[in-house]
Structure 1
Amino acid sequence: MNSPGSTPASSPPADPAPVPGAGATLTAGPVGKPPAGRTGTDPLSRLRRLADLRNLSLVGVLAVLIIVGGFTKPDEFLSTDNLQLVLTQASVIGVVTVGVTFVITSGGIDLSVGAMVSLASVWATTLATQDYGLGGILLCAVLVGLGCGLVNGVLIAYGGMVPFIATLAMLASARGLALQISDGRTQVVTVNPVLDLGLPDSYVLGIPPLVIIFAAVTVLGWLVLNRTTFGRRTVAIGGNAEAARLAGIDVKRQRLMLYLLSGLCCGVAAFMLVVLTGSGQNTNGNLYELDAIAAAIIGGTLLTGGRGTITGSVLGVLVFTTITNLFALNNLQSDVQQIAKGAIIVAAVLVQKGRSTP
């Protein structure tokens, strides 16, 4: 035994205290395995893969339709005139679909787009408006579309109305007003600069001006939805409006802006329809709301909001327009067309539901 004050006998050193996190590399998984969340299975990567798959599927459907058209009506379907016609017809409803895509992405709906196109086309082709030439017709169509979108936005964002009810009321009101203004008659356009836009002489490198407008709207819509704060706020509101509000987003103002955007697209589409048909009538834009919503859905835009794709919506428009053209060339009745469209919509929704199921 050691005496007091003597040096204690040597003893084995105590084990050092464990350092938090030490030894993690010894118990980790296989060498080279990336951390969780970086394997490409995170939600963002999964959404990108699904979007690419959807777009490739729609491109495949378009390819099949083109092959079918080439076999059934090779001379008519593959002619330059018919392809230009398909693109031109897709352009009008395509511009409307871009606006509808934004609204649906935010969790809303707009059933009044067809009626807004009708009202804008009729108002822009009255004799009083035509006195101001091309600029007057274009400005009037855009202002009418914006005005209708403003009413929708105020009722929904600040009036607390359900989007379905508010836009349904706008559908009925705009159709009635278009009928009242036109008195049920076709208003023929006599402004030559407007009519000239629909002639082959105005084509740029063989591309109709309406297709160029559609391409410009598509590019702008893609940039706004995917590369701007406005687009991110739209997706956030569609995913969870309350969470977006708590994050500092002015949900009401954003919804108002979205319905204004939809109205603006309808005004531009109305002007394009006036150029295409050379007239304005209360039957213009009939069932555009169904075609636009259907194109957005089969393109991958989630009907409940929170996800939207401009590219997919445009591909959806091209699929529907090509189907309509094929049916017309093969003298098939319109009721068969509607059945085919309905089947495509159901299939697209079922595929969406299956992919969203964990």
Structure 2
Amino acid sequence: MTQHMSPPRDDTGKATPTGQLPFWRGLMAHLDVRTLSLLGVLAALVVIGGVTKPDEFLDTRNLQLVLTQASVIGVVTVGMTFVITSGGIDLSVGAIVALASVWATTVATQDYGFAGILFTAVAVGVGCGLVNGLLVAYGGMVPFIATLAMLASARGLALQITDGRTQIVTVDQVLRLGERDAYVLGIPPLVMVFAVVTVIGWLVLGRTTFGRRTVAVGGNAEAARLAGIDVRRQRLYLYLLSGLCCGIAAFLLIVLSGSGQNTNGNLYELDAIAAAIIGGTLLSGGRGTITGSVLGVLIFTTITDIFALNNLQSDVQQIAKGAIIVAAVLVQRRTASTT
């Protein structure tokens, strides 16, 4: 039997169009239980941090640092969300970030200044995404295997370029972006970039034909093909998008650290996948949420900060993250079985 939701009603009991709802009730109408739960978890973590280390955790500089650190992995997670929503996976994002960061910080590249570093980082990311996309979409390779091969190759090439050494950035325009003088109204430039990428990702996934095609491919690729969607081309575009996000993240990491290293982006693939999963994106594809993924990133980054401020062992931190991931997957399975 088909169930029909009753229209929203005002305080007098009369039906009210959604667009005419009071602000807070209209906002709540667009938030699902999972998003509210994630906001609750994030709020609880803020309370824990404020109680255990009030002076350090609630300090403006620390909050700026948390948001800045979340920006790099957050941009990667936006791209990962699109890939997972389509039913794919990208294990190479961390290695692509490393390769892009070292390629963009070589002496030859830095001779071209700010534009050279930015262009190289983005170009390398998109190039790696193109290879992944061609292997998966047109080569018929399983995404797990194709991106695993890219992970190994990109890490090896990054090590070969640097010869195991750290490449220091000498371009002042890049370094100044990481200084407090570059903050706008107390907001670091990296956070603003993350916000822009998040908004664009949210609009594309939820408000465009490209987003609807991504969800359709993840839900049922054969049905999407029969509906006229070029599934192979869509998958190619998605890995290009993931590579683009990796290139942007590599540039942000260069600004944040002032260097390029072959160890950059270590385990980014696991953090990005975990953030997307706890945010509500289905590993099997067919459903994705940028808002949830960003909240997942903020939750993990806040946990890391609280553990660091309280001098807790990193292994306990990893256990906590693992428990959160398992809980999120179990909730997904429970939700899927009841729908």
Give the TM-score normalised by the residue count of structure 1.
0.87
1:278 and 1:286 map into 2 onto residues whose CA distance is 17
2:30 and 2:158 map into 1 onto residues whose CA distance is 42
Aligned residue number for residue 299 of structure 2: 319
TM-fit CA distance, 1:36: 3.5
TM-fit CA distance, 1:340: 0.4
Q: How does 1:35-54 map to 2 (within 5 A)?
A: 36-39=2-5, 52-54=32-34
Question: What SS does the corresponding residue of 2:32 show, helix, strand or coil?
Answer: helix
AA aligned to 2:266 is N
Aligned residue number for residue 289 of structure 1: 269
Question: What SS does the corresponding residue of 1:248 show, helix, strand or coil?
Answer: coil
Over the aligned positions, Cα root-mean-square deviation in angstroms equals 1.3
TM-fit CA distance, 1:92: 0.2
Aligned residue number for residue 13 of structure 2: none
1:138 and 1:174 map into 2 onto residues whose CA distance is 19
Q: Extract unaligned runs of 5+ from structure 2.
A: 7-27
Change (3 A) 1:51 1:163: farther
The CA deviation string for residues 67-92 of structure 1, in whole angstroms up to 9 with x for no partner, is: 11111100000000000000000000
The CA deviation string for residues 38-90 of structure 1, in whole angstroms up to 9 with x for no partner, is: 237xxxxxxx9896111111110111111111111000000000000000000
1:37 and 1:121 map into 2 onto residues whose CA distance is 52
The answer to whether residue 335 in structure 2 is matched with residue 355 in structure 1 is yes
AA aligned to 2:276 is A
Aligned residue number for residue 333 of structure 1: 313
AA aligned to 2:294 is V
The CA deviation string for residues 321-348 of structure 1, in whole angstroms up to 9 with x for no partner, is: 0000000000011111110000000000
The CA deviation string for residues 173-198 of structure 1, in whole angstroms up to 9 with x for no partner, is: 00000000000000000000000000
Aligned residue number for residue 282 of structure 2: 302
Question: What SS does the corresponding residue of 1:320 show, helix, strand or coil?
Answer: helix
2:333 and 2:31 map into 1 onto residues whose CA distance is 14
Aligned residue number for residue 157 of structure 2: 177
Aligned residue number for residue 175 of structure 2: 195
Aligned residue number for residue 22 of structure 1: none
In the alignment, which of 127, 147, 160 is matched to residue 167 of structure 1? Answer: 147
Aligned residue number for residue 13 of structure 1: none
Q: How does 1:91-130 map to 2 (within 5 A)?
A: 91-130=71-110
In the alignment, which of 191, 203, 207 is matched to residue 227 of structure 1? Answer: 207
Contact 1:116-1:171 within 8 A present in 2 as well = yes
The CA deviation string for residues 221-279 of structure 1, in whole angstroms up to 9 with x for no partner, is: 00000110000000000000000000000000000000000000000000000000000
In the alignment, which of 50, 55, 64 is matched to residue 35 of structure 2? Answer: 55
Equivalent residues, number: 317
TM-fit CA distance, 1:213: 0.0
Change (3 A) 1:160 1:50: farther
Aligned residue number for residue 21 of structure 2: none
Give 4+ residue runs of structure 1 displaced > 4 Å after superposition: 48-51
The answer to whether residue 252 in structure 2 is matched with residue 269 in structure 1 is no
AA aligned to 1:328 is A
TM-fit CA distance, 1:37: 3.7
Question: What SS does the corresponding residue of 2:69 show, helix, strand or coil?
Answer: helix
Question: What SS does the corresponding residue of 1:143 show, helix, strand or coil?
Answer: helix
Question: What SS does the corresponding residue of 2:43 show, helix, strand or coil?
Answer: helix
1:357 and 1:304 map into 2 onto residues whose CA distance is 14
2:31 and 2:160 map into 1 onto residues whose CA distance is 44
Q: How does 1:231-250 map to 2 (within 5 A)?
A: 231-250=211-230
Change (3 A) 1:287 1:51: farther
1:344 and 1:237 map into 2 onto residues whose CA distance is 28
TM-fit CA distance, 1:318: 0.1
Aligned residue number for residue 73 of structure 1: 53
1:204 and 1:227 map into 2 onto residues whose CA distance is 29
AA aligned to 1:38 is H
Aligned residue number for residue 24 of structure 2: none
**Percent of pairs with identical residues:** 80
Contact 1:51-1:300 within 8 A present in 2 as well = no
The answer to whether residue 117 in structure 2 is matched with residue 137 in structure 1 is yes
1:50 and 1:301 map into 2 onto residues whose CA distance is 17
1:298 and 1:187 map into 2 onto residues whose CA distance is 35
Question: What SS does the corresponding residue of 1:164 show, helix, strand or coil?
Answer: helix
2:315 and 2:121 map into 1 onto residues whose CA distance is 32
Aligned residue number for residue 83 of structure 1: 63
AA aligned to 2:259 is S
2:29 and 2:157 map into 1 onto residues whose CA distance is 46
AA aligned to 1:127 is V
1:275 and 1:190 map into 2 onto residues whose CA distance is 11
The answer to whether residue 218 in structure 2 is matched with residue 252 in structure 1 is no
1:246 and 1:232 map into 2 onto residues whose CA distance is 15
TM-fit CA distance, 1:199: 0.2
Q: Extract unaligned runs of 5+ from structure 1.
A: 1-34, 41-47
